Amino acid sequence: MVRLIRAARNNYRGLRVAFRTQAAIRQEIAALALAVPAAFLVTPLALERLLLIGVVLMGITIELLNTAIEQLCDCFTREEDERIRRIKDMGSAAVGIGLLLAAATWTVAIGQRLWR
C-alpha cells in the first residue's frame, strides 16, 4: 500500500509540473475536459465513449513521454546536436501519430452518429 501511495504522489507531482510548465499539456487537458461530455453526446455506448476518451488520454500520455524525453535531452546539452535533434523529432512524431489516431477515432464516431 505504501508503494501505491508513493506512486500516486509521484504521478500527481509529474502532472502538476507538466501542467504548469508545458502549454501542450494544458491544451490536451482542455481537450480532455471537452472530450468527456462530448463523448456522451456522440454515442450512447459505454465502450465507444471509453474509446473516445481513451484516445485523448493516450495523447496526453504520449505528450508527457515526449516532454520527459525533451527535458532529459536538455539536461545533456542545449547546443545543436544532430543526435538529440533526431531523438526529439522522433518524440514529436509519436505525438503527431497519437493526435492523428485521436482525430480519426473522433471523426469516425461523429460520422457514425450523423448517419444513424
Q: Is 70 one of the catalytic residues?
A: no
Q: Can you read off the three cell numbers belonging to residue 95?
A: 505525438
Yes or no: say if 18 and 25 are a contact pair by the CB < 8 Å rule. Answer: yes
78: Cβ–Cβ under 8 A, 6 or more apart, which residues? none
Q: How far apart are CA 102 and CA 66, in angstroms?
A: 17
Q: Which of 28, 63, 70, 79 is catalytic?
A: 63
Query: Which are the contacts of 76, defined by CB distance < 8 A and separation ≥ 6?
Result: 84
Residues belonging to the active site: 63
